[in-house]
Amino acid sequence: MSLDAKTIAAITDRIQHAQDKVHTITKVTDEHPSMSIEDAYAVQDELRRSWIARGDRVTGLKAGLTSRAKMLQMGVNVPSFGIQMASMARPENSAIEMSGLIHPRVEAEIAFVLKNELKGKGLSIEQVIAATDYVIPAVEVIDSRYEKFKFDLVSVIADNSSSARYVTGGRPLDPQGLDLRTIGVVIEKNGEIQALGASAAVLNHPANAIVMLVDHLATRGECLPAGSFVMTGGITEAIPVARGDNIVARFQDMGSVSFRFI
Residues in the site for ligand 0L1, rule: CB under 6 A?
62, 64-65, 70, 74, 80, 140, 142, 144, 156, 161-162, 233-234, 238
Q: How far is the CB of 130 from ligand 0L1 (least distance, A)?
A: 26
Q: Which residue lies nearer to Mg ion by CB, 129 or 142? A: 142
- CA–CA separation, 93 and 258 (whole Å): 5
The entry of Mg ion, ligand 0L1, none near residue 46 (CB within 5 to 8 angstroms by kind) is none
Measured from the CB atom, is 66 or 132 closer to ligand 0L1? Answer: 66
Q: Residues in the site for Mg ion, rule: CB under 5 A?
A: 64, 107, 140, 234
65 binds, among Mg ion, ligand 0L1, none (CB under 5 to 8 A by kind): ligand 0L1
Question: Among all residues, whose Cβ is closest to Mg ion?
Answer: 140
Per DSSP, the chain holds a count of helices (H) and strands (E) of 7, 13
Q: Is 149 left (phi over 0), alpha (psi -120 to 50) or beta?
A: left
Q: Which residue type is seen at 60?
A: G
Tally Cβ neighbours within 10 Å of residue 104.
Answer: 24
| Closer of 130 and 196 to ligand 0L1 (Cβ) | 196
Q: Cα(60)–Cα(230) distance, rounded to whole angstroms?
A: 6
For the chain, percent helix, then strand, then coil, each to nearest 5? 35, 30, 35
- Out of ligand 0L1, Mg ion, none, what residue 11 binds, judged by CB under 5 to 8 A for its kind, is none
Between 131 and 156, whose beta carbon lies closer to ligand 0L1? 156
Interatomic CA distance for residues 162 and 145, integer angstroms: 7
